[in-house]
Amino acid sequence: MKTETIRVKTSQKTELIDITDDIRKKIQSAGFRSGIVMVYVPHTTSAVTINESADPDVGKDILMILDQLVPQRAGYRHAEGNSAAHVKASLTGQSILFGVEDGKPVLGTWQAIFFCEFDGPRSRRVDINFIAGSGQK
Ligand code: ZN
């Protein structure tokens, strides 16, 4: 399985960053024409999700509701003090899958791929795994 990596530098405590173009470029440079791509975040306080990018308020709403669901302080035991970020990361998830056809991600009109920072600012890594399919270099 071929893997590419992109680096994401976050600047806020919590934020959603659209990484669709970075992933699109990696698919092209890998020569991957057709198959499945898994985007995987190897961190415990960040995540990845697919959602709407046309209206940036959608991402803000997602972060707002996660804040309401997962309070900053709730009698957590984890001594590092970032349990809310760990819980948000597990709720959101560490990987997404999507299809690739003719070297392009198969996404809906309004869909984009977002890196989700829950304990920034940090320097993060995102792995792009090219699975099965055809036309790999
Ligand atoms: Zn921690």
The reply to whether 8 falls in a domain is yes
pLDDT for residue 80 is more than 60? yes
Average pLDDT, the chain: 95
Q: How far is the CA of 45 from the centre of ligand 1 (A)?
A: 7
The reply to whether 28 falls in a domain is yes
Specify the pairing of strand 46-52 against strand 2-9.
unpaired
The reply to whether 56 falls in a domain is yes
Q: How far is the CA of 106 from the centre of ligand 1 (A)?
A: 35
pLDDT for residue 89 is more than 90? yes
pLDDT for residue 92 is more than 70? yes
pLDDT for residue 1 is more than 80? no
The reply to whether 137 falls in a domain is no
pTM: 0.94
Q: How far is the CA of 13 from the centre of ligand 1 (A)?
A: 14
Mean pLDDT of 51-78: 97
| CATH number of residue 39's parent domain | 2.60.120.460
Q: 76 and 130 in contact (C-beta within 8 Å)?
A: no
Which tokens in the block code for residue 89? Answer: 């990361």
Number of domains forming the structure of the chain: 1
Q: 96 and 36 in contact (C-beta within 8 Å)?
A: no
Expressed as residue numbers, the domain containing 13 is 2-132
